Amino acid sequence: MPRSGVALALVAAVFFGVSGVVAADAFAEVDPVQLAQIRSVGAALILGAVAYRRRDVSTGGRLGELAALGGVLAVVTVAFYVAIDRLGVGPGVTVQFLGPVVVLVWMAVVQGRPVPPFAWAGAAMAVGGTALVNRAWDLGVVDPVGIVAGAVAAVAFAAYLILGERLGRRLSGLSVTAHGFAFSGLIWVVMAPVSVPSVSTRVWLELAWVVVGGTAVPFLLEIAAVRRADAGRVGVAATSEPAVAALVAWMVLGQALTVVQLVGVGLVVAGVATIQFLTASVAPDVPPDVI
């Protein structure tokens, strides 16, 4: 069972990684806000239907926290899309994956929970790797807007993990995810004018992939994964996403990374995997990914 859970998490990471590449290509005809709205509303409809069919729609008296989770999902989605649009897929995904580092600091400083020394070493690796991926030493190539967007996505990702941990003690992963996207979709409908984008057939197919193959399917895979393997193993498997995204972006979009940047991606993957394995901070019934 643990092996099948890890395998499902790896497949989910591939779906998430490919989704970032598909979204980046779609930005030629839709902007990040439009795509965030389409993704949230579409995922809410699909995951809500699955939750309703399984009779798993209880809020457990946590409606306010679920609404907050929806707000976090709305922020992390648009910030992530801005980051990959400005920085490229590989660097954008990598910056966002600093979320577990933020969770580590939260655990130690706010919650007062003991953190293994090797987890801090993993955090240092992840931060250093992010600096390499984004060539922090060369201010001439650094995109400040993209970096800020990535940082916002990382903090929002951390907030998702922290809220998910709290909600996962009372609700199933499917209920948490379905309600989160329902509130996220509602926020985007209120915040941004709803309109049918005038795009090519190719981009319509890409939008459909982002909603189905890039959101609903991998979330359901991760929900299945955490039922078969512990959160630490699933979290480690999920950290393969930046490497997958960077590879697919290079193959499909021609967004090649230098050797130094590839080393940076590797450090981030190794660092975050270390944190996830040692802390397993995500509740056992909550999927550890949002992108």
What would the pLDDT profile of 232-289 be if each residue is shown by its tens digit? Answer: 666 677 778 888 888 888 888 888 888 888 898 888 888 888 887 777 643 444 445 5
Q: Are 87 and 32 within 8 A, CB to CB?
A: no
Q: What is the mean pLDDT of the chain?
A: 84
Helices 217-225, 173-191: crossing angle, 10 deg rounding: 150
Q: What is the pLDDT of residue 281?
A: 44
Radius of gyration of the chain (CA): 18
Cα(186)–Cα(170) distance, integer angstroms: 23
Q: What is the pLDDT of residue 23?
A: 93
Query: What tokens were used for 289?
Result: 């990914």
Q: What is the pLDDT of residue 21?
A: 92
**Percentage of the chain modeled with pLDDT above 70:** 90
Hey, what's the torsion of the CAs at 95, 8, 233, 172, to 10 degrees? Answer: 90
Specify the DSSP class assigned to residue 203.
Answer: H
Q: What is the pLDDT of residue 129?
A: 85
6-19 average pLDDT score = 86
Hey, what's the torsion of the CAs at 196, 245, 267, 102, to 10 degrees? Answer: 20
Confidence category of residue 52, pLDDT binned at 50, 70, 90: very high
4-15 average pLDDT score = 83
123-136 average pLDDT score = 82
56-81 average pLDDT score = 91
Helices 2-26, 231-238: crossing angle, 10 deg rounding: 30
C-alpha 137 chain-centroid distance = 27
Close Cβ partners of 193 (under 8 Å, ≥ 6 residues apart): none
Point out the least confidently predicted range of 107-111, 136-140, 225-229, 248-252: 136-140
Cα(221)–Cα(211) distance, integer angstroms: 14
Q: Are 13 and 238 within 8 A, CB to CB?
A: yes
Q: Are 122 and 272 within 8 A, CB to CB?
A: yes
Query: What tokens were used for 238?
Result: 């999920």
Burial class (CB in 10 A: 0-12, 13-18, 19+), 141: exposed
Of 250, 152, 191, 212, which is closest to residue 19 (Cα–Cα)?
212
pLDDT at position 46 over 70: yes
Confidence category of residue 172, pLDDT binned at 50, 70, 90: confident
**Percentage of the chain modeled with pLDDT above 90:** 32
Q: What is the pLDDT of residue 283?
A: 41
Q: What is the pLDDT of residue 285?
A: 45
34-48 average pLDDT score = 93
Q: What is the pLDDT of residue 250?
A: 86
Cα(246)–Cα(248) distance, integer angstroms: 6
Cα(230)–Cα(252) distance, integer angstroms: 34
Q: What is the pLDDT of residue 284?
A: 41
**AA identity, residue 200:** S
Cα(56)–Cα(285) distance, integer angstroms: 13
Q: What is the pLDDT of residue 113?
A: 80
Q: Provide the H-helix boundaries in 114-225.
A: 117-133, 144-168, 173-191, 201-211, 217-225
pLDDT at position 31 over 70: yes
Higher pLDDT pick, 226 / 97: 97
Higher pLDDT pick, 241 / 205: 205
